[in-house]
Amino acid sequence: MKIFAQVAVALLLAGAAAPAMAGTFLWTEVETDYYGTKGVFYKQDRLVRSDYGVFGSSNGEQTSRAYGAKPSRIDLPTVTNPATTASAYVDLAHGKLGASVTDKGAGPEGYANSSVRAEASLEDDLIFTAAGAGADTVSSFDFEMGLHGSFAGTGSWIASGSFSEPNEPARTSFSFSGTSFADLTDRTAKGSISYTARSADEAIVRGKVSFTGDSWSTHVIFTLRALARALGDGSQSGLADLGNTATLRFALPTNVTMTSASGQFLTDVAPVSSVPEPGSWALMLTGFVLVSGATRQRRRRFAKSR
């Protein structure tokens, strides 16, 4: 399942055809890799929610299972290994993803060097319905992904997302990464996407998505990763704390509604101010012009009467 998810993200960001709708999928993972004079080994922990339940594993061995369970949030508790600590969570109802890692080096004997990664990802099928829209009507909505975190040393981050239709190239996708939010090392975007760094610890990704007709079905994927590495001699260590970040928000026109396959996507998020349709903007601008004109007329009459 994990291999499929990684391949799907790669295809979407590359603009290749996406697979059919995949349902709801929440993924949290922590992996620490050690390397040194004795070679390489790793420690991997996962907690996953699919449409079949919630399952945990450690180095490929199942550690927990809850068939049929469909919580809107999963938390992979802090995993502590020699030299590293890491955690991750996904909250579908609140539209939040979090990941945090610390790597201080000094791993097990013979494996002094280390790297650690924490990942949080969510997928869901969404349906947008535009009331009163015809077959050729184009509707648009805005989304944003707010990012908050702190970094030190070798700490870094990756945030990505995509909107795709069955067996079609991704309509909108993005992938940003850096050593802080002010220092991007890579950026890839398809569609109307913008990235704004407000500081080294805060940034926001904004995008606009359009569709034609009275309804549109799309599969969304949003992923957050925190990474760090360290050397056993103490010359490198790292922190990437994004434990309270990646907050998703959608702003819909007043005639557009959104439902999800999970029935949980953004259900506990305060409504965002809707985005007026072009016709509404025209009416608003007309109103502003009329009010401005009326105000000038009143001022002229008042001046003459004095």
For the segment 120-161, what is each residue's pLDDT rounded down to a tens digit?
999 999 999 999 999 999 999 999 999 999 999 999 999 999
Residue 145: which H helix or E strand, with range? strand 138-148
Burial class (CB in 10 A: 0-12, 13-18, 19+), 255: middle
Residue 6 CA, chain-centre distance (Å), reads 15
Buried b (16+ CB within 10 A) or exposed e, 101-130: bbbbbbbeeebbbbbbbbbbbbbbbbebeb
Domain regions of the chain by residue span: 2-275, 276-306
The predicted model gives 64-79 an average pLDDT of 95
How far is CA 126 from each of CA 159, 173, 257, 269, rounded to the nearest angstrom? 20, 16, 10, 16
Report the distance separating Cα 240 and Cα 243, nearest Å. 9
Mean pLDDT (the chain, rounded): 84
Model confidence over 169-204: pLDDT tens digits? 788 999 999 999 999 999 999 999 999 999 999 999
pLDDT score for 272:
63
DSSP state letter for 83:
T
pLDDT in tens, 262-273: 999 999 987 665
Q: How far apart are the first and last CA of the chain?
A: 80
Kindly indicate the confidence band of residue 287, based on its pLDDT and cuts at 50, 70 and 90: very low
Closest alpha carbon to 266 in 143, 145, 93: 93
Contact call for residues 24 and 123 (beta carbons, < 8 A): yes
